[in-house]
A and B are shown apart, each in its own frame.
Chain A
Amino acid sequence: MDKLSLYMQYPMVRYAFIVGILIALCSSLLGVTLVLKRFSFIGDGLSHVAFGAMAIAAVLNFTNETIIVLPVTIVSAILLLRTGANTKVKGDAAIAMISVGALAFGYLLMNIFSTSSNLSGDVCSTLFGSLSILTLTKSEVRLCIVLSMIVLIIFIMFYNKIFSVTFDEDFAKANGTPVEGYNLLIAVVIAVIIVLAMNLVGSLLISALVIFPALSAMRLFKSFKSVTIFSAVLSVVCALSGLVISVLAGTPTGSTIVAVDVLAFFVCCIGGLFKGAKG
């Protein structure tokens, strides 16, 4: 405890906690929708795109990478969800293509143009986010707070629509809901969340942050609302404890948080079994 309160005196540790909680909250919210829409892997695909964009930003020596990374990721998200609807390359294949392609190009660019002496270290931290959350600047934290507030507000405002579009697209369409529009909105929000989450867990582990809380909650709860709320709470709790553990034990932040998420998933599975056996 002493060690923790000592660390908390450093602003960068406090920043890490603020950003960590916000990202965990946002990423879990849409997780339920993504898992149910069979888009679990879009997080992975988009995070690789963001990685590629980040490499470009690094090569071009941009100080604030988000300016490039965010628009590129949003465009890719829109393209991915669009292609999901009606083209020759179907959803999962399109995600795989974009994700692997962006990853390769990102690494290639970094390899050719990088001025850093520790290239594999750079790549590693972008992929696994091992250090970046502890090196956040004040402006990045501010941006993160603003973007997560926007995500939260959008989610709450369109909660009913998101439910009806997720549960039954055809019915929603027949009912006059502009389904394409909402899919677009969901895509943009996902892109924003992923760019945010890259700071926390790095691009490789983002899927875990999106999927695990949702899957855990689905073991235990039976209505959309309770699943959404529980996954948000669980995600925040896991992120918090992961951060605390990583600070105290000196483990890499991203992987620690995901490890806690995985653990929570198994606990929920067992809980679900007991619940099922009783009912």
Chain B
Amino acid sequence: MLTVSGAYPGDDRHFTEDKMSLIKVKDLSLGYDSKVVAKDLNFEVNMGEYLCIVGENGSGKSTLMKTLLGLKKPLGGSIEFGDGLKSTDIGYLPQQSLVQKDFPASVYEIVISGLCKGFSKSLFYSKRDKETVSSTLERLGISSLKHRCYRELSGGQQQRVLLARALCATEKIILLDEPVAGLDPVATKEMYDTISDLNKGGVTVIMISHDIAAAVKYATNILHMGDDNVFSTKEEYLNSELGRNFAESVRSEE
């Protein structure tokens, strides 16, 4: 069990009541330098759940994600990982960067880089690594793209490739940062279905999204970030005033 201790020294409350809990966040506050962007975050993610993080721009969604991944230190509070999970065991699907748009790389090269962890035991990829890549590509239905050039793929295909890379890095839990940003409606639906299938197959999913409709449709739990952070199951969220308001405002924007 790994404890990321924050500003409260001596805070070593461990959770043992539920062994299937993967991530438990307590009184977490986030920010840059001393500027707090979100505080009093409390939520937990259990095995097999599908957590959707929604909220306005600037509410700290991306910062939360970076903190969960261990890229940033929390300002306070704690993140506890259970069931032998480490922050480096989270498969990450970042938003695409500009650099990648003209990067000469084949799908195979990108997906196998998901297996490149820390100072891994060997500097080269093994036969088993290559088999992992093949089976992951198969799982996402993109085996035919294996030797294609990444920058020539459609947006939806590119996201699938990055998803495959994330799956290579983990079996347990994936963290998706706006996975459908910039995709057309058909590709968006396919992407959501794929993620949903993965979730049904036992992969725990944490997803950041602007898309409240999708969040409500697919997720099991919702974390709404904003002035007040509300963590609840989907049903509770739908019945709360906050959820109704947010759903309303998103709908009117569209």
Contact = CB atoms under 8 A, between A and B. Distances in A.
B92 A174 contact: yes
Contact of A174 (B70, B106, B119, B124): B70
Interface in A180-198: none
Contact of B94 (A160, A171, A224, A225): A171
A166 B102 CA distance: 12
Contacts of B110: 167
A167 B113 contact: yes
A224 B117 contact: no
B52 interface: no
Contacts, number: 96
B99 A171 contact: no
Interface residues of B, number: 36
Interface of A: 32, 36-38, 157-158, 160-161, 163-164, 166-168, 170-178, 217-218, 221-227
A169 to B, nearest CB: 9
B123 A160 contact: yes
B116 A177 contact: yes
A175 B118 contact: yes
B92 A171 contact: yes
A264 to B, nearest CB: 17
Interface of B: 69-71, 86-88, 90, 92, 94, 97, 99-100, 102-106, 108-110, 113-114, 116-119, 123-125, 147, 149, 151-152, 165-166, 169
Nearest to A221: B104
A174 B109 contact: no
Contact of B105 (A161, A172, A177, A224): A224
9 contacts: A32-B104, A164-B113, A170-B71, A171-B114, A172-B116, A178-B119, A223-B108, A224-B103, A224-B109
Nearest to B122: A160
Contact of B117 (A167, A170, A176, A226): A176
Nearest to B71: A173
Contact of A175 (B88, B97, B106): B88
A157 B123 contact: yes
B109 to A, nearest CB: 5
A200 B202 CA distance: 58
A176 B120 CA distance: 10
